[in-house]
Amino acid sequence: MNAEMAKNDPKMGEKTGYELIDSGDSEKLERFGDVVLSRPDPQALWPKRLPESVWADADGIFFRKAKDGEWRFTNLNKDYKKWPINFSGLKFWIKPTPFKHVGLFPEQASNWDWLRAKISAAKIADSKNAANDIEVLNLFGYTGGATLACAQAGAKVVHVDGSKSAIGWARENAELSGLADKPVRWILDDARAFVTREIKRGRLYDGIIMDPPAFGHGAEKEVWKIEEDLLPLVADCMKILKSKTAESAGPLFFLMNGYSAGYSSTAYGNNLAPLTEKFGGTIETGELTMKESNNGRLLPAGIFARWSRN
């Protein structure tokens, strides 16, 4: 098993893009387009490098309040409900939420590049068979970054999420990125229930992506607990991957992401071991990080495990 540190290093200084300006004292200072935001990040267990005056000058600061929190913005004459940015060859609507997320996870850029490369290489290798579409299932798809990257590379995508608002947001991002006419099915459903039905329907996929939370709810308020539900879901997903036949080279990839569950990327990677036993290929595991623009310090932002057949 190969270990990889996946680092997101976007071009800095582009006022339409993203920048991690500084981090420390359990906070991070970021620029989304021309808006600078300060929000909590428990991984930033080190001192800040920039003076507090720089942090205090942020356009928006997130404050903890009861269970969630609230944003406080300095320019009351400007509407901060949403604004567009360019990032990693795509466009996203940034919307500050009461649970501190803004709809973009910049550390995923390296995964999006990996997905694009796998899909593009597969399409080139099978360019003579135009009917052999690459079909991808994206579970817990949220605001659609991975879905849009796959669609951009020429895959058909089924995007599943249990939140109606998240699916609406993802569709807005698709339209903003000029991908609204791509073959994407937007499914409001519980991930486990959807996969169970796909097994019954005999539907098969070339690639699967999943980004499961530690805890959450499905479309019908089904409770998701990663310690109870992850293993059965992965096992079911193995049943809807294409088999190696005379007509098919077998599945193309399986990508898993993790954030706050406290698990190691090695644990995620071990779930993908059956794929190497059956199809060969390679498993990579590691951390997702973001690089500060002023000094190159890395901020941990999650884990990944990914299998590909080549």
Paired strand residues for 138: 159, 209
Question: pTM of the predicted model, to two decimals?
Answer: 0.91
Structure tokens at 176: 């903003």
Q: Is residue 7's pLDDT more than 50?
A: no
- Which amino acid, 54? V
| Banded model confidence at residue 217, pLDDT cuts 50, 70, 90 | low
Strand ranges (E), 252-297:
253-258, 282-291
Q: In a 3-state reduction of DSSP, which class is residue 103? A: coil
pLDDT digits (tens, 9 = 90+) for 197-215: 999 999 999 999 999 987 6
| Structural domains in the chain, sorted by start | 7-81 (2.60.40.1180), 106-308 (3.40.50.150)
| Banded model confidence at residue 8, pLDDT cuts 50, 70, 90 | very low
Find the DSSP H helices in 126-225. Answer: 145-152, 164-176, 191-201
Q: In a 3-state reduction of DSSP, which class is residue 157? A: strand
Higher-pLDDT residue of 67 and 243 is 243
